[in-house]
Chains A and B, each alone.
Chain A
Amino acid sequence: MVLAVFASVWFGVVGLGKGAVVWQTLSVELSGWLLPLAIASYLLGSTSSSSEWRQQTEEFLDSLPNGRQARILGRVMAAAAPVGYSVILVTAWMLIGARNNPAGEIIWSEVAVGPLSIAIAWTIGSLVGGFRRFRSAPSLFLVMYLFLQLLASPDIEIGASGPSQSDAGRLLMWLPPSSFESPFEILLRPSAQRLMYLVAVLVAVVLWMMWRADRSTSKRRWLVAATSVAMATVFVLGYVVASATPTVNWAAQSLDRPRADWTKLTLAQRCTNTDGIALCAYPTFEPWIHVWNGAITRAARLAPERVKGVAQRPSNTSFDGFDPGPGWVITGFSWDKPNADEPVRAFALAASAGNLAVGLPAGYQANCDAHGQGRSVVPLWLAATSVDNGVMLLRQLAEQAGPITSIGGVGLGNAIFGPDAPNLALDISEQPTTEVESVFSSRLSQLTDARTTIEDVASWFGISVRDSGQPLVPSDLPTCG
Chain B
Amino acid sequence: MIVVTTVTKTYSDVTALDDVSLQVGPGITVLLGPNGAGKTSLIRCLATVMRPDRGGIEIGSIRVGAESDNRAIRSRLGYMPQATGYPNGISVSKHLDRIGVLKGIVEDDERAKAVAASLRAVDLEEQADRRVNRLSGGMQRRLALAQALMGSPKILLLDEPTAGLDPEQRATFRSFIGAIGAAGATVLVSTHQLEDVLGISGEVVVIANGRLLFQGPPRSLAELARGQVWITGHPAPGSISWPMPDGRVRALGEVQGGEPVEPTVEDGYLLLMKRNSANAYA
Residues of A at the B interface (CB closer than 8 Å) are: 51, 55-57, 59-67, 69-71, 214, 216
Contacts and interface: CB of A to CB of B under 8 A. Distances in A.
Contacts of A62: 47-49
A129 to B, nearest CB: 16
A59 B49 contact: yes
Nearest to B101: A66
A52 to B, nearest CB: 9
Contacts of A64: 74, 99, 102-103
Contacts of A60: 79-81, 84, 144, 147-148
A447 B237 CA distance: 130
A63 B49 contact: yes
B86 A63 contact: no
Interface string B58-89: 00000000010011001101011101111110
Nearest to B72: A65
A466 B219 CA distance: 128
Contact of A57 (B70, B75, B85, B104): B85
Contacts of B67: 67, 69, 214, 216
A62 to B, nearest CB: 4
A473 B103 CA distance: 91
Closest 3 CB pairs of A and B: A56-B85, A63-B79, A62-B49
A163 to B, nearest CB: 53
30 contacts: A55-B85, A55-B86, A55-B88, A56-B83, A56-B84, A57-B84, A57-B86, A59-B49, A60-B79, A60-B81, A60-B144, A60-B147, A61-B102, A62-B49, A63-B47, A63-B48, A63-B77, A63-B81, A64-B102, A65-B75, A65-B102, A65-B104, A66-B102, A66-B103, A66-B104, A67-B67, A67-B70, A67-B71, A69-B67, A70-B102
B153 to A, nearest CB: 10
Contacts of B84: 56-57, 59-60
A63 to B, nearest CB: 4
A56 B70 CA distance: 22
A66 B67 CA distance: 11
Contacts of A66: 102-104
A51 B87 CA distance: 8
B120 to A, nearest CB: 20
A438 B99 CA distance: 89
Interface string B79-121: 1110111111000000000010011100000000000000000
| From A57, A60, A67, A214, residue with most partner B Cβ within 10 Å | A60
Nearest to A56: B85
A57 B83 CA distance: 9
Contacts of B48: 62-63
B197 to A, nearest CB: 24
B126 to A, nearest CB: 23
Interface residues of B, number: 26
Given A60-B147, A63-B81, A66-B103, 16 more contacts: A51-B87, A55-B87, A56-B85, A57-B84, A57-B86, A57-B87, A59-B81, A60-B148, A62-B48, A64-B74, A64-B99, A65-B71, A65-B74, A65-B103, A67-B74, A70-B102
Contacts of B147: 60
Contacts of B77: 63
B111 to A, nearest CB: 14
A54 to B, nearest CB: 8
A468 B102 CA distance: 88
A275 B71 CA distance: 74
A97 B216 CA distance: 79
Interface string B10-21: 000000000000
A70 B99 CA distance: 13
A61 B49 CA distance: 9
A466 to B, nearest CB: 81
Nearest to A57: B85
A70 B74 CA distance: 14
| From B47, B70, B81, residue with most partner A Cβ within 10 Å | B81
A51 B102 CA distance: 17
B75 to A, nearest CB: 4
A192 to B, nearest CB: 36
A214 B104 CA distance: 20
Contacts of B87: 51, 55, 57
| From A56, A57, A59, A214, residue with most partner B Cβ within 10 Å | A59
A479 to B, nearest CB: 82
A67 B47 CA distance: 12
Contacts of B49: 59, 62-63
Nearest to B74: A65
A58 to B, nearest CB: 9
Contacts of B99: 64
A64 B88 CA distance: 20
Contacts of B86: 55, 57
Contacts of A61: 102
Contacts of B102: 61, 64-66, 70-71
B277 to A, nearest CB: 30
B69 to A, nearest CB: 12
A133 to B, nearest CB: 15
A57 B98 CA distance: 13
Nearest to A214: B67
A323 to B, nearest CB: 69
A67 to B, nearest CB: 7
B80 to A, nearest CB: 8
A60 B88 CA distance: 16
A51 B86 CA distance: 10
| From A62, A63, A71, residue with most partner B Cβ within 10 Å | A63
A214 B65 CA distance: 11
A218 to B, nearest CB: 9
A71 B87 CA distance: 15
Nearest to A74: B102
A70 B71 CA distance: 11
Contacts of B79: 60, 63
